[in-house]
Amino acid sequence: MTTVLAAIERANEQLFGDALACEEVHPAVFLPGPVEATRLRAHLLQAEALLRALAVVEDSPRNEESDPHIDAAFRRLEAKVDLLTALVAGFAAGQSTDPLRRLRWSARGVRMSHDAAFAPGTPGLFRVQAAEWLPSPLVLPATVLAAEAGVEPGSQSLWLRFEGLGPVLEAALERHLFRVHRRAVAESRRAG
């Protein structure tokens, strides 16, 4: 038991020690198994593109008054894209099969509950719907650092370390989590 606790402490330090971490609830799953190099490269490129697109959408001004130089044609186009995105997200929302899970994550990794048991060292993919309005999942390679028996029989709390993200993807993930953190702080200030 003490070795499990020591592994959990090490995992917490590695994943969250001096990194910005957020707690959220999203559809997410860990898919165990080795990932071939070509597929891994494709997942990393898709993750980078997804996070870049999220940054463009979430960082763009929502209020038309915020930038008076934007012409009316651009605003109409932006509104049409927003509508199309909402429609596609609505259609795809019914297709999400991953269960909602409480996550604590940073750009280094994630702690999550899971309904299956995995041994430390198990490689695989972490899949999460990173934004409620966006049906495309973020898929990142990960390895189980530590595991602890959960409350439900056969469930575990998993600590997953992201693998091979590279500096650009890691920075994009850090920026995404910073925006999530900033929104959470703003919402708590409005509520309090």
How far is residue 148 CA from its own chain's centroid?
Answer: 21
At 116-162, the pLDDT tens digits run 889 999 999 999 998 887 778 999 999 999 999 876 676 789 999 99
Position 64 pLDDT exceeds 50: no
Give pTM, 2 decimals: 0.81
Q: What pLDDT band is residue 12 in, cutting at 50, 70 and 90?
A: very high
Position 54 pLDDT exceeds 70: yes
Query: In the chain, what are the domain boundaries?
Result: 2-62+72-191
Which pLDDT score is estimated for 88?
66
When pLDDT is averaged across residues 28-51 and rounded to a whole number, the result is: 93
When pLDDT is averaged across residues 13-23 and rounded to a whole number, the result is: 93
For residue 98 the two structure tokens come to 């991953």
Which pLDDT score is estimated for 87?
54
At 174-188, the pLDDT tens digits run 999 999 888 888 888
Q: What DSSP designation does 20 have?
A: -
- Rounded CA-CA distance 86/82 in Å is 6
Helix axes 37-59, 166-191, angle to 10 degrees: 40
Question: Shortest CA distance to 126 belongs to which of 152, 161, 153?
Answer: 161
At 69-108, the pLDDT tens digits run 566 667 667 656 755 665 565 565 555 689 999 999 999 9
Contacts of residue 178, Cβ cutoff 8 Å, sequence gap at least 6: 20
